[in-house]
Structure 1
């Protein structure tokens, strides 16, 4: 009986090793495919979820596949981060591990592009040390009551607004500036529209109308992160951890050879 148990444990260990090894090979194949599909310089990180892998491989159907990549270049943007989860993926193992063209059928995909503050700064001339911060109802209330902000700030949705900070030159002097702006998606692009601009601390003098107008135009910008991963249609935008995150979903797409557009 003891020998039987040991033999079974060895078999289980071998099965797990083969399972993980096969998954690693398939993940590498998908990674190369995603690199070509998204147009990356390096292979992205790919993880095929679910255990055991071999039961999925036999059927050629995978419940979910995670894809992540960083430092992606799109136009003036240099440090985009991309993550996507592909759900209900159809890809026979023989095709994945073979040397021929790869085709993946995906029933649904959810993707996110992260635009860090350093990339946003590249689109705002004259601003240094740009920062992006989340904001809540309490912060909006404090801005109105303590900082003299307009009461219209209380009508903003904190999920669709953010606080930006940085250093600018105004009337020949380098000063700190911070502002509260709304975030919108316009034709797949990020629209940042200032609603309140403040220089320095609470005792800073009021901005002249000309300077106020200049800063308003300076921070009214659009950020085009390029296409979301795997042709995902952007549907959500928010500030998260010092960056702007754009997310969306797509259905019924084919990746690789014979690729077809996804439907939103």
Structure 2
């Protein structure tokens, strides 16, 4: 009995190892295919979810595949991160593990694109050391209590952010300026609309500025970015602040990768 148990454990281990090995080969194939078709600088990270892999592979359909690509160039943007969650991926096992041409079909996908502070800064002349911070309802209420417009409390914090940057303020010199801004999508364009501007008084407290200075800085922090056609042809539906970036998210469907295929979705 002891030998049987040991043999069974060894067999299970070999099956699991074979399953993970086959998954790794498939993931590498998908990664190379996407790099070539999307003209990426590096192979994207690909993870095929679900265990066992071979059960999905035999059917030729994978329920969930996650893709992450870094250092994507979109127009003037240089360091964009793209993440995609693909659903209903169809790829015959023979194509994935073989050396011939590969064709991959995707039923639908959720995509996100993250723009970091360095890329944002190039669109804000005169502003350095840019940071992007999340904001909540309490922060909006506190801004009103500290002299901000009452209309700030009507802002949905899910579609707002606090931008912080160093600016040469007239008569005061270089100071950290904090801006509560509304985040908007106009088609594929990103718009950041400043609503409340404060200056760090040197003690860590944010103080309101005179109307004339606020007006000048509003123009300085107003931001409009057109990243062009997004990877996977994702249609953007949401813009928010997340993890120190501006994140665009959206969906697409009916994707195709491979020889003679296009990535255009709908």
TM-score greater than 0.5 by the shorter chain = yes
Residues 16 and 127 of structure 1: CA distance in aligned 2, closer, same or farther (over 3 Å): same
Which residue does 1:162 correspond to in 2?
161
Instruction: Confirm or deny: 8 A CA contact 1:132 1:239 kept in the other structure.
Output: yes
Instruction: Confirm or deny: 8 A CA contact 1:61 1:88 kept in the other structure.
Output: yes
* 1:131 partnered with 2:131: yes
Q: For residue 237 of structure 1, report the CA deviation from its aligned partner.
A: 1.2
Q: Deviations over 1:201-229 (max 9, x none)?
A: 368574362x4333222211112334333
Distance in 2 (CA, whole Å) between partners of 1:142 and 1:76 is 36
Q: For residue 260 of structure 1, report the CA deviation from its aligned partner.
A: 5.4
RMSD: 1.8
Instruction: Confirm or deny: 8 A CA contact 2:178 2:206 kept in the other structure.
Output: no
Q: For residue 235 of structure 1, report the CA deviation from its aligned partner.
A: 0.9
Residues 126 and 205 of structure 1: CA distance in aligned 2, closer, same or farther (over 3 Å): same
Secondary structure of 1:120's aligned partner: helix
Distance in 1 (CA, whole Å) between partners of 2:25 and 2:232 is 22
Q: For residue 167 of structure 1, report the CA deviation from its aligned partner.
A: 0.8
Residues 101 and 226 of structure 1: CA distance in aligned 2, closer, same or farther (over 3 Å): farther
* 1:219 partnered with 2:218: no
Which residue does 2:179 correspond to in 1?
179
Distance in 2 (CA, whole Å) between partners of 1:53 and 1:205 is 58
Q: Which segment drifts farther, 226-235 or 60-69? A: 226-235
Instruction: Confirm or deny: 8 A CA contact 1:113 1:225 kept in the other structure.
Output: no
Secondary structure of 1:239's aligned partner: strand
Secondary structure of 1:54's aligned partner: helix
Distance in 2 (CA, whole Å) between partners of 1:203 and 1:13 is 59
Which residue does 1:66 correspond to in 2?
66
Distance in 1 (CA, whole Å) between partners of 2:208 and 2:133 is 24
Distance in 1 (CA, whole Å) between partners of 2:182 and 2:51 is 43
Instruction: Confirm or deny: 8 A CA contact 2:129 2:166 kept in the other structure.
Output: yes
* 1:259 partnered with 2:262: yes
Which residue does 2:39 correspond to in 1?
39
Q: 2:231 aligns with which of 229, 232, 235?
A: 229
1:100-139 alignment, distance < 5 Å:
100-139=100-139
Q: Which segment drifts farther, 9-18 or 70-79? A: 70-79
Distance in 1 (CA, whole Å) between partners of 2:242 and 2:252 is 22
Q: Which segment drifts farther, 84-93 or 216-225? A: 216-225
Instruction: Confirm or deny: 8 A CA contact 1:161 1:181 kept in the other structure.
Output: yes
Distance in 2 (CA, whole Å) between partners of 1:50 and 1:206 is 55
User: Where does structure 2 lack aligned partners over 5 or more consecutive residues?
Assistant: none
User: Where does structure 1 lack aligned partners over 5 or more consecutive residues?
Assistant: none
What is the aligned residue count?
A: 261
TM-score by length of 1: 0.92
